[in-house]
Amino acid sequence: MALKVGLIGLGLMGKPMGQNLLNAGFVLTVWNRTPEKAKDLADRGAHLAANPRDVASRSDVLIVIVSDPPAVEDVLWGANGAIDGLPPGSVLIDSSTISPELARRAAAACSERSVDYLDAPVTGGDWGAKKGELVFMIGGKENVLERVKPVLSVLGKKFFLLGPNGAGQTVKLAMNLLLALEVDALAESLALVTAGGVPGERLIDVMQSSMARATVLDVKAPSMLKNEFPSSFPLRLMHKDMRLALELARQKGLNLPAGEASYATYSAVKDKSKDDPDYAAVARFWSKP
Ligand SMILES: NC(=O)c1ccc[n+]([C@@H]2O[C@H](COP(=O)([O-])OP(=O)(O)OC[C@H]3O[C@@H](n4cnc5c(N)ncnc54)[C@H](OP(=O)(O)O)[C@@H]3O)[C@@H](O)[C@H]2O)c1
């Protein structure tokens, strides 16, 4: 029998994931804090749940993809939280980017109800979510991953099983810290050449032929050169991921000076931005007022 799938969180990522699940023929039940955002999927055949507990109770596999740790705590343990609704034998997959500690806490709460848990944060952006080509970083058991593969295969193209619960989030935070540093470093180099009287485009041309070549040049340099930052991966979420990475480092007694310095730069831009820009807007740090 086809697995019944639940989805909590219909933001930039969750909505296209829901669309792909419907296209693949899954019976899908959805819930979003702001109910209007569920309308499109309901029009296309998704069932609407009254609250997180309701969606959980109708699911063999429940996927959560919400903003941050407080959002995950709200949907799992808040009023009518999902944890209490999950049937024994079901699987909770959390694709939100959160701390490894919270992932392990959720896994323990699931285990008490004989529910399996995977931390499964993703990379690939809203583009990857639309194309069903996300890359999943997974913490949990291999047999659980195999059980939910029919569902995840509709959403992604690569599944890295990285260790026990929490390992997926650990790798995701480390990777996003690196991405944030790369884009910050690119913005800094662009500011330097521009200040030196050379157009930023010339730096990018040279970098594309040098050891400094990286995919962020293709994806982020064009908007940085135009000084336009439509949100693909919002700066507010990258800022959250950096904070979680630095908190994890502190918990482990690790000093990450480059990460700390870059976090201060992103914080300054976040505090000043009145819109909801992409994280490439870190380049605004060097904009003339
Ligand atoms: N965007 C990307 O490119 C990308 C890529 C990889 C990973 N991620 C990660 O995926 C997750 C979702 O990202 P997104 O881009 O989809 O974010 P988003 O567009 O900002 O959507 C956030 C979702 O979380 C919900 N939410 C926030 N606070 C909540 C609360 N207290 N209770 C219940 N629901 C709450 C929002 O509900 P409302 O609609 O009511 O606000 C919305 O459904 C984040 O952890 C992010 O770091 C994002």
Average pLDDT over residues 134-141: 98
- Give the structural domain span for 49: 4-163
State the total domains in the chain.
2
Nearest CA to ligand 1 atom 43: 9
DSSP assignment of 1-58: -PPEEEEE--STTHHHHHHHHHHTT-EEEEE-SSGGGGHHHHHTTPEEPSSHHHHHHT
Q: Residue 166 and residue 175: Cα distance in Å, rounded?
A: 14
Q: Is 214 in the pocket of ligand 1 (CB under 6 A)?
A: no
Indicate whether 11 and 106 sit together in one domain. Answer: yes
Backbone torsions φ then ψ of 96, nearest 5 degrees: -65, 155
Indicate whether 128 and 91 sit together in one domain. Answer: yes
Indicate whether 191 and 245 sit together in one domain. Answer: yes
- What's the pLDDT score for residue 287? 87
Indicate whether 174 and 34 sit together in one domain. Answer: no
> What is the residue whose two structure tokens read 């485009």?
201
The token pair that represents 232 in the structure block: 């693909």
> How do residues 38-76 score in pLDDT, each as one tens digit?
999 999 999 999 999 999 999 999 999 999 999 999 999
Indicate whether 200 and 139 sit together in one domain. Answer: no
Kindly indicate the confidence band of residue 3, based on its pLDDT and cuts at 50, 70 and 90. confident
Average pLDDT over residues 116-141: 96
- What's the pLDDT score for residue 288? 72
Indicate whether 159 and 178 sit together in one domain. Answer: no
Nearest CA to ligand 1 atom 3: 125
Q: Residue 242 and residue 274: Cα distance in Å, rounded?
A: 20
The token pair that represents 42 in the structure block: 């309901």
Indicate whether 150 and 52 sit together in one domain. Answer: yes
> How do residues 144-165 score in pLDDT, each as one tens digit?
999 999 999 999 999 999 999 9
Kindly indicate the confidence band of residue 249, based on its pLDDT and cuts at 50, 70 and 90. very high
Indicate whether 26 and 142 sit together in one domain. Answer: yes
Kindly indicate the confidence band of residue 228, based on its pLDDT and cuts at 50, 70 and 90. very high
Indicate whether 134 and 251 sit together in one domain. Answer: no
CATH of the domain at 122: 3.40.50.720
- What's the pLDDT score for residue 250? 98
Indicate whether 95 and 177 sit together in one domain. Answer: no
Distance 286 CA to ligand 1 centre (A): 29
Q: Mean pLDDT in the chain?
A: 97
Q: Give the ligand 1 atom nearest the CA of 13.
A: 16
> What is the residue whose two structure tokens read 């480390």?
174
Burial of 253 (0-12, 13-18, 19+ CB in 10 A): exposed
- What's the pLDDT score for residue 232? 86
pLDDT > 70 in the chain, percent = 99
Average pLDDT over residues 66-89: 98
Indicate whether 233 and 126 sit together in one domain. Answer: no
Q: Which of 99, 237, 240 to mutate to test the pocket of ligand 1 (most atoms within 8 A of CB)?
A: 237
Average pLDDT over residues 213-217: 92
Q: Which of 15, 172, 220, 240 is catalytic?
A: 172
Give the CA diameter of the chain.
66
CATH of the domain at 266: 1.10.1040.10
| 200 half-sphere exposure, CB direction, 13 A CA radius | 18
Q: Residue 124 and residue 126: Cα distance in Å, rounded?
A: 7
Average pLDDT over residues 177-188: 98
Q: Is 141 a catalytic residue?
A: no
Domain boundary (129, 163, 197) is at 163
Domain boundary (114, 131, 163) is at 163
The token pair that represents 90 in the structure block: 């079901």
Indicate whether 153 and 37 sit together in one domain. Answer: yes
Q: Is 41 in the pocket of ligand 1 (CB under 6 A)?
A: no
- What's the pLDDT score for residue 33? 98
Q: Is 104 in the pocket of ligand 1 (CB under 6 A)?
A: no
Q: Is 154 in the pocket of ligand 1 (CB under 6 A)?
A: no
Q: Is 143 in the pocket of ligand 1 (CB under 6 A)?
A: no
Kindly indicate the confidence band of residue 1, based on its pLDDT and cuts at 50, 70 and 90. low
Q: Is 96 in the pocket of ligand 1 (CB under 6 A)?
A: yes
